[in-house]
Structure 1
Amino acid sequence: MTGSEDRPSFRLAYVPGVTPDKWARIWNERLPDVPLSLTQVPAAGAEGVLLDGDADAGLVRLPVDRTRLSAIPLYTETTVVVIPKDHLVTAADEVTAEDLADEIVLHPLDDVLGWEERPPGRPALERPATTADAVELVAAGIGVLLMPLSLARLHHRKDLTYRTVTDAPQSGVALSWPEDAHTDRVEDFIGIVRGRTVNSTRGRQPDPAPAGQKPAAGKQQSGKQQSGKQQTGGARRGGGAPRKKSGSGGARGKPRRR
């Protein structure tokens, strides 16, 4: 891992459907002096953005080229089928790929599910250029569309709904960065997405106090209290039980010579 970055900001790319808001808020709280720059990029172009140095890290869809990019898988999304609200499929809470065998299943060119062959059902005459185009075709009653749940929510329309497809491929989301660019700032963001606390020993440690600077008041007080306990314990160990004062009926020592 290299030393601290010279860049004044941390550049994070993210693909459609991914919402980095929570992590961005934590970053701004922990590192207010390092602005976080967010850029949405197409899923298919995310690797190029990272390898070209246009972003320091990215929230991308798997798989990625692991020979050149590091990646930490974060979560796997549910796959749903997007359909008109009056479609017969809406009668069930979830469906299988076989249930869609008689449907025209649209397969956009920017599909992120990674089908081994092709989606179930009957293919359309042409593949839509984008997922957004495919959603318009679903609304027009031309077919149905399978996609990750986050994309279905991103392209939400009042006249469309969706149902879970239990046996369809799923899309995984990961934090990724170039293998040769694992910087301190990248490690900071790894700590955030993994839920590390500010004081976690696995994350970056805060810079030590400059020479001659006194520790925080709370630490000084804690040190005094601990020191006091040690001194009290030492007195008990070294001196044993405290001496009893001799009373009037106790033995007296030898009289002092005059």
Structure 2
Amino acid sequence: MTGSEDSPAFRLAYVPGVTPSKWVRIWHERLPHIPLTLTQVPAAEIRATLRAGEADAGFVRLPVDGDDLSAIPLYEETTVVVVPKDHLFAAADEVAVADLADEVVLHPLDDTLDWEHPPGRAARERPATTADAVELVAAGIGLLIVPQSLARLHHRKDLTYRTITDVPTSRVALSWPQEATTDLVEDFIGIVRGRTVNSTRGRRTEPEPKAKRAEKGGARRQQPTGGKAGGRGTGKATGKPSAKNARRGSGSPKGSKPRRRP
């Protein structure tokens, strides 16, 4: 495993729609001395980015082809259909894939869903990007099926979206090159998996010097003087009774008047 000192910063890539802010915040809290750089990469290019060593790890959409990239699935997204606000589907709570049989459904080249046969009627040309497809939906050319995070990312006031059933879903994962599993990568894996800062699989803190540990232990074992065996000492030097004990003694303090007998 490569030591974390080999990399001056942790480079994290992510595909559009993924929001890594909560993991980045935890990173800054736990490792404030190691900068983290964020780069958004198109879904179709992020695997090449990781293989080229241009990022230490990245949030990708599954599947990840090849055995050279490791991946930890994180969550599965809801799939939605993006429609104009005045479309019939806008009045429904959810849409079935069979309802799209007579609709033109756009299938962009950067589509993130693993379709065997996309539903509906195909458009004459495939849009180059999801952003282009959203523009075509707004123009009334067709409808678009995407993960919910992409529908939110490309939100427009004249469009809305509804959950669609019986269609593929998009799964988001953390991925990195297997042969480059550095200490920093292990740190970030621990963060996304919810490990605590004291986890044995997280970053190990430097052990406390033995001299300090012995000093602390000695302080705890030290017994105060002047106390009874097995009990708590008063912390006062021996041979000097307290005022309370003097009053309880059989003799009278020096210079005191004798008590008058009844």
Q: Distance in 1 between matches of 2:100 and 2:204?
A: 53
Tell me, in whole angstroms, the C-alpha distance in 2 between the residues paired with 1:49 and 1:207: 34
- Corresponding residue number in structure 2 for 1:184: 183
How far 1:65 moved relative to its partner?
Answer: 2.2
Q: How does 1:5-16 map to 2 (within 5 A)?
A: 5-16=5-16
TM-score when normalising by structure 2: 0.81
- C-alpha displacement at 1:3, in angstroms? 2.6
Match of 2:141 in 1: 142
Instruction: Return the alpha-carbon distance in structure 1 between the equivalents of residues 172 and 96 of structure 2.
Output: 23
Q: How many pairs align?
A: 225
- The root-mean-square deviation of aligned C-alpha atoms, in Å, is 2.2
- Structure 1 SS opposite 2:83: strand
Shift of 1:83: 0.3
Partners of 2:25 and 2:70 in 1: CA distance: 24
- Counterparts of 1:126 and 1:169 in 2: how far apart (Å)? 22
* Conserved? CA contact 1:5–1:183, under 8 Å: no
Q: Please tell me whether residue 36 in structure 1 is matched to residue 36 in structure 2.
A: yes
CA drift at 1:235: 5.7
The 1-side partners of 2:146 and 2:129 are apart by: 12
Q: Could you list the per-position Cα deviations for residues 151-183 of structure 1 after superposition, in whole angstroms to 9, with x for gaps in the alignment?
A: 000000000000001111001000000010111
1:204 Cα offset (Å):
2.4
What is the aligned partner in structure 1 of residue 164 from structure 2?
165
Q: Which residues of 2 match residues 103-114 of structure 1 at below 5 A? A: 103-114=103-114
Q: Which has the larger radius of gyration?
A: 2
Question: Match of 2:174, SS?
Answer: strand
Listed as ranges, the gaps of 5+ residues in structure 2 are 224-228, 232-262
Q: Deviations over 1:38-96 (max 9, x none)?
A: 00000010110000000000011100024110000000100000000110011210111
Q: Which amino acid aligns with 1:92?
A: A
- Match of residue 4 from structure 1: 4
Structure 1 gaps, min length 5: 229-233, 237-258
- How many angstroms apart in 2 are the aligned matches of 1:3 and 1:48? 24
Query: % of aligned pairs identical?
Result: 72
CA–CA separation in structure 2 for the residues paired with 1:46 and 1:122:
30
1:224 partnered with 2:215: no
SS of the equivalent of 1:43 reads coil
For 2:249, the equivalent position in structure 1 comes to none
TM-score (norm 1): 0.82
